[in-house]
């Protein structure tokens, strides 16, 4: 059976185009974060206590004029030493399309205490156009908190 070189070339080109189309995902880009504040301890939990992880939730307020998203991560579990410090939580974020990954970490230089507590952590994300977004909150919890908002 004879193979037509034009058909073979067309199949190779088509395969390359399809491969590129499926592999071309929007690259992650950093999101500007302005840290606002976190509350003092809302409730204390001994590290050894069962039920160490508190339920998470989040809320957002969108400022369309400034393309700014004010985020509050409610009941974020942190060390009591971190909760006692202003700016003790470092927040960074990346965006890939309609997904925003938010990383909330304790500052390594914070004093450590023998307890954990819940705080409400607030911060602003800049350069966010109106739409529907899924926010992934990564912190000390084994799985990220995942919440979708439209604004």
Please name the residues in contact with 118: beta carbons below 8 A apart, sequence gap of 6 or more. Answer: 41, 42, 43, 45, 54, 75, 76, 77
Radius of gyration of the chain (CA): 22
Contact 89, 51 (CB under 8 A): no
Global pTM reads 0.75
The one-digit pLDDT tens for each residue of the chain (151 residues) are 565 655 545 554 455 444 444 444 557 899 999 877 888 888 766 655 544 455 668 999 999 999 999 999 998 888 888 888 887 899 999 999 999 999 999 888 888 888 888 899 999 999 999 999 999 999 988 889 999 999 8
3-state secondary structure of 100: strand
């Amino acid at each position: 059976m004879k193979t037509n070189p034009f058909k073979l070339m067309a199949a190779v080109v088509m395969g390359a185009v399809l491969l590129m189309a499926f592999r071309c995902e929007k690259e992650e880009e950093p999101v500007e974060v302005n840290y606002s504040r976190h509350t003092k301890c809302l409730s204390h939990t001994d590290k050894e206590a069962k039920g160490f992880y508190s339920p998470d939730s989040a809320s957002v307020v969108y400022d369309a004029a400034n393309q700014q998203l004010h985020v509050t991560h409610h009941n974020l579990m942190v060390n009591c030493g971190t909760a006692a410090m202003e700016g003790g939580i470092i927040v960074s974020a990346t965006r890939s399309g309609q997904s925003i990954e938010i990383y909330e970490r304790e500052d390594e230089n914070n004093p450590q205490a023998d307890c954990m507590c819940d705080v409400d952590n607030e911060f602003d994300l800049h350069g966010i156009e109106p739409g529907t977004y899924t926010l992934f909150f990564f912190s000390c919890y084994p799985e990220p908190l995942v919440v979708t908002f439209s604004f």
